[in-house]
Amino acid sequence: MTTVIMRTTARAIVPIVLVVAISLFVEGHNLPGGGFIGGVLTVTAFGIVYMAFGLDFLERGVLGREVDPGKGPSRDRVVLAYRRLFAYGFAIAVASGLAPLVFDRPFLTQTFVMLEGVPIYDHLEVASALAFDFGVYCVVVGGLLTILSVVGAE
């Protein structure tokens, strides 16, 4: 059972943590940050939601699944979703690394495109490394949320 203070604080902090995570993820190929730290911050936000509201809220509110209030939360379904995210992220990271080989370039070679007039950033360099970062992000989020759910079930 959590307090009103914890739930109120979670409602205020989680969006801020997620915005910082997205910002670090987008800027990560050029500045400190990237998929790993963005994923860790995302898992931190999920952990705060899990502590403040419980796993049922996570299933209903975030994953959009129906939860029977009479039963305990279906950790198997949640863990399966997180493991699937881990596998998809791993596949994306490997595919983004292998893609340059199709064009006779070395493994993990990157290219970029400059986008001008982007709101907040003004100009944004979108690199092919963003796909690799996204794969790493999914691996980190999927793996750490799996660990958090399994350990939290104990």
Domain boundaries, the chain: 4-152
Taking 90 as the threshold, does the pLDDT of residue 136 lie above it?
yes
- Whether 81 has a pLDDT exceeding 90, the answer reads no
- The amino acid present at 2, given as its one-letter code, is T
Residue 153 has pLDDT above 80, yes or no: no
Q: Tell whether the model's pLDDT for residue 135 goes beyond 90.
A: yes
Return the structure tokens found at 97: 């690394």
Answer with the residue of higher pLDDT: 147 or 74. Answer: 147
Alpha-carbon span 142 to 154, nearest angstrom:
19
Residue 126 has a pLDDT of 78
Task: Quote the CA–CA distance of 40 and 28 in Å, as a whole number.
Answer: 13
Dump the DSSP string for 48-71. HHHHHH-HHHIIIIIS-----TTS
Q: Note the pLDDT tens digit of each residue in 48-75.
A: 988 888 777 777 776 676 766 545 445 6
- Measured CA to CA, the distance from residue 19 to residue 54 in angstroms comes to 22
Q: How many CA atoms lie within 13 A of 119 on its CB side?
A: 0
Average pLDDT over the chain reads 84
Distance, CA of 94 to chain centre? 17
Q: What is the pLDDT of residue 73?
A: 47
End-to-end CA, the chain: 17
Per-residue pLDDT band for 40 (boundaries 50, 70, 90) equals very high
- The per-residue pLDDT for range 82-121, each reduced to its tens digit, is 899 999 999 999 999 899 999 899 988 888 888 888 887 7
37 SS3 class:
helix
124: CB partners within 8 A, 6+ apart: 26, 114, 115, 118
